Amino acid sequence: MYQSGLYWQFIGVAQCVVGLLLLTQRYATLGAVLFLPIMTSIFVITISYDFAGTPIITGLMLLANLLLLAWDWPTLRVLVNLPVQAVPAPPRATTRLWEGVGAMLFAYTAGYRVYTEAYNFLVWAGICALVGGLGLLTAWWLRRNGGQHQD
């Protein structure tokens, strides 16, 4: 695939740009919309060239992208000429919580990849699941207590 030259480089740069958009809350919907044709193209290429196992990974990434778009459907309805539905904004404490969880996961993943030579997927996935689970428990606790202790 590297022999496709400029196309492959373009796909790589586009994936990086879209990944950065998905890391933000403000531009995540735009990132999900832009990622759909990119991921669809990659999925079709992996199927047509019969890569072993890769269509499963790219198919799951495409499914995740479709789930992101389904999550943002109330906002995206305008693209198919339907009125936008009002979506209540999440509480500020919950937004800050998930910003913190995302920053922790990014920092851990980047640090883990930089400072370890032997990559252990189970250790990485376990710690990521633990951080995400703690975020879910904290969000549940904040919701249960009526949002007190928020800022």
Q: pLDDT in tens for each of the 151 residues of the chain?
A: 566 778 888 998 999 999 999 988 789 999 999 999 999 999 999 899 878 888 899 999 999 999 999 988 888 888 888 887 777 766 666 778 888 888 888 888 888 888 888 878 888 889 989 998 988 888 888 878 775 544 4
Domain locations in the chain as residue ranges: 1-84, 88-151
Give the pLDDT of residue 39: 95
User: What is the rounded distance in angstroms from the CA atom of residue 19 to the CA atom of residue 35?
Assistant: 8
With 0-12 / 13-18 / 19 or more C-beta atoms within 10 angstroms meaning exposed / middle / buried, residue 86 is exposed
Give the pLDDT of residue 150: 46
User: What is the rounded distance in angstroms from the CA atom of residue 112 to the CA atom of residue 116?
Assistant: 6
Query: Closest by alpha carbon to 129, among 111, 108, 115, 143?
Result: 108
Give the pLDDT of residue 151: 45
Give the pLDDT of residue 147: 57
Give the pLDDT of residue 148: 53
Give the pLDDT of residue 64: 94
Give the pLDDT of residue 33: 96
